[in-house]
Amino acid sequence: MRITDNILIVSVVGTILFSGCVRKPQSAREYPIRPVPFTSVKLTDNFWAPRIKKNADVTIPIAFHYCETTGRIKNFEIAGGLDTGKFQTIYPFDDSDVFKIIEGASYSLQTFPDPKLDAYLDALIYKIGLAQEADGYLYTNRTIAEKHGGEGLHEWANKKRWLNDSISSHELYNLGHLYEAAAAHYQATGKKSLLDIAIKSADLVNRDFGWDRTKVYPGHQVIEMGLVKLYRVTGDRKYLDLARFFLDVRGPHGQQYNQADLKPVDQKKAEGHAVRATYMYSGMADIAAIEEDTAYLKAITRIWEDIVGDKLYLTGGIGATGGNEGFAEPFELPNMTAYCETCASIGDIFFNHRLFLLSGQSKYIDVLEKTLYNSMLSGVSLSADRFFYPNPLESNGQHQRSAWFGCACCPSNIVRFVPAIPGYIYAVTDDALVVNLYISNDASITLGENRIAVTQKADFTRDGKVELTINPEKSRKFGLKLRIPGWARNEAIPGGLYKFEDNNDESVKLMMNGKPVQISVQDGYAVIRRKWKTGDKILLEFPMPVRKVIADQRISAARDKIAVQRGPVIYCAEWPDNNSGNVLNLMLKKDADFKAEYIPSLLQGTEVIKTSGHQTRRTLDGKVDTLADEPVTLIPYALWNNRGPGQMEVWLPTSTRSTHPLPATTIAFRSNVRASKMTKSLSAVNDQIEPADSTDKSSPFYDWWPSKDTWEWVEYDFEKPLNISRTKVYWFDDGPGGGCRIPDEWEILYLNGNIWEPVTTRSRYKVTKNDWNTLSFKPVVTKSVKIKVKLKKDFSAGIYEWIIE
């Protein structure tokens, strides 16, 4: 990889400002392609601009509100001696949320100047400064505990500073976010208040860590990226060296969970916790660019191939399992239990953007765009005050966005990511302007000695027409590279894990000052190289038909199903738009037409897709009936769950094999169901969806988590007395990782008059995994039957299905 010498120092998606004692590095190297900072790009579109405004008006204020009410800010006040008391919050990494929100607020201030917010940040930074110990150490949990003779030190932290960081203390994790916030705040305001705190902290870290000093690697990566930003802002090389140290000191012989089982340069597969992983890969990309390190470049390129080859969701989400909040086995991509953490989507956008800046290849932007419009965007509600932590691709109504979380990484990541989105639209090389995303904006771009005003008019995601006006200050020759997205070239997503069912013959149209131009695509870009003059106009037209997507056969969760994509947007069926709220039993018609239609009154105005399908229903003899044709409406996946919880699915069945039919009118189905813990997922117990085994996370289940060591129950009440004599139950058990196991014992009771009495058994009560546990009993006539379940001492329990005959 050749990296040019003529490099500007720019923060990745940030602005440049050098002043005072902050030095500019001499002949420093950087990414060969430089992003045009978001501060140079003013959005004028109807899709992202309103969302960025809402982030400023709604998300940032409520995020600070929760930092106040949960005690996150009080932790700084107590550590700084402004208040007294114990550590106020749950986790030692809670400091990091405050830093991330400061970072987001700093970005936001550059688009929406706000003296009140500016002053609020000043007051907050003052408190952070007081909480910093004299030698630069900043970790409110320890500082507060030391005021109480060590009492209250979090169990994840060691009595000695730093020693537990590889495992759990998150001391360096907090600091990584501090450094990112400090760079952002300095660039936004020119004030050095937070930067000075960050420098004092980083200087301590630099004194304490090194090959001849503490050789502890960060348990949760992010300080690598943070130190690179500090290096860029200060020009001080030691921060870059420290970032590299934290990568080189990592592994082998550590845990796979936090990517420490191998040296980062030797890693070939994406593994472990997905947020930690993408933050580390992004840090490695920074080192690969700045130090021209081909070993790091090779490793992250290989890892990217692994992600797109077998670990990426169609929505751009990553991380399949909740146990490790991370990557699972290849092709293990369940829908209902998909993790797809919002933070992991943001981390993957950081990673893909950096790979683009290193290589100039548009496939990385294809993944970035897919994640941006789907898995990332799903993380925040239209009202901008509700957040998803996991972003599943299927729901039975058990998922709902929350106002805040005990572990609040996702909302604070939304806060800092959204204002910076305009920074992903353009980039420059030494002699070319690159257009990566099609979003209406007015931009002022520096290309060498030239300033270029660019006006872009687009109406993504409604249609594929784009108009670009190029106004260079001086008429000069340079290249204009227009990204031709994969979806406009018959590629659903890079890597081949998902494909369009058939090819679309319509081609992309390109006009230059009213004349058609032949497109030749290089690295995913149409390149126009000419002497540009003021008023030059480009018209681009991407065909945006509705496309059917099919998955690699090795993804069992998507077998015999299709998904629907239009442009970069993935669609889903959601309960309010389809037959009385039932979605999971839908089956699409194979030959159905798909029509896109804009509905201004729906979800603040959105394109929906109309098609047709059938409901399916199980019959009493266990077969599946296909009911009459009916219309099916699909909405953009990112917009689901803005009208309350309910059924949703992205992968739509095309065969009775892959659908979840409506239950047959069995006794259980006709019953009124009650339980010791009433939750939405209770409907699982009589939905007649049989799991593959006791750990099958793709089948709905009901559980009593987090109860342990208690007696729990489920009850069926019949309309009229029935004669019953047999029952069977299928237990949920997510061991060894999860919290549920098969119970210690269970018992069937029936209502005899007003008294619950045990049935007289004719077989043994079995408690086994991976099969039905059947019990015969002496027939009784009753109006109600109850299953009582004794949970294990240290575990909860759950039921997939409970049948009465």
CB of 456 to Zn ion, least distance (A): 32
Torsion 328-330-333-334 (CA) sign? negative
- Beta strands, E only, 85-227: none
Question: Quick one: 333 or 409, whose CB is closer to Zn ion?
Answer: 409
Which strands form 536-541's sheet, in the order they lie side by side? 41-43, 441-447, 450-458, 465-472, 536-541, 509-512, 515-516
Closest listed residue to residue 355, CA positions, set 368, 338, 340: 368
CB of 410 to Zn ion, least distance (A): 4
Question: Quick one: 410 or 648, whose CB is closer to Zn ion?
Answer: 410
Question: Quick one: 388 or 702, whose CB is closer to Zn ion?
Answer: 388
Closest listed residue to residue 165, CA positions, set 214, 122, 124, 238: 214
Question: Quick one: 410 or 454, whose CB is closer to Zn ion?
Answer: 410
CB of 51 to Zn ion, least distance (A): 19
CB of 343 to Zn ion, least distance (A): 3
CB of 409 to Zn ion, least distance (A): 3
CB of 412 to Zn ion, least distance (A): 8
Alpha-carbon distance values, 168 to 88, 273, 485, 762 (Å): 19, 13, 41, 53
Question: Quick one: 323 or 516, whose CB is closer to Zn ion?
Answer: 323
Distance CA 279, CA 294 (A): 19
| Residue 545 CB coordination number (10 Å) | 13
Distance CA 559, CA 498 (A): 12
Alpha-carbon distance values, 729 to 575, 695, 772, 789, 800 (Å): 28, 15, 6, 11, 8
Distance CA 86, CA 76 (A): 11
CB of 202 to Zn ion, least distance (A): 24
Distance CA 40, CA 57 (A): 21
**Which residues sit at the interface with Zn ion, rule CB under 5 A?**
341, 343, 409-410
Question: Quick one: 310 or 341, whose CB is closer to Zn ion?
Answer: 341
CB of 389 to Zn ion, least distance (A): 6
Question: Quick one: 343 or 797, whose CB is closer to Zn ion?
Answer: 343
Distance CA 147, CA 164 (A): 20
CB of 91 to Zn ion, least distance (A): 12
Indicate the SS3 state at residue 757. strand
Question: Quick one: 175 or 415, whose CB is closer to Zn ion?
Answer: 415
Residue 311's Cα: distance from chain center in Å? 14
Question: Quick one: 89 or 440, whose CB is closer to Zn ion?
Answer: 89
Taking phi over 0 as left and psi of -120 to 50 as alpha, with beta for the rest, 193 belongs to alpha
CB of 3 to Zn ion, least distance (A): 33
Question: Exposure of 493 by Cβ count < 10 A (0-12 exposed, 13-18 middle, 19+ buried)?
Answer: buried
Residue nearest to Zn ion (CB): 343
Backbone angles phi, psi at 194, to 5 degrees: -80, -30
Distance CA 21, CA 11 (A): 18
Question: Quick one: 408 or 569, whose CB is closer to Zn ion?
Answer: 408
Residue type, 195: L
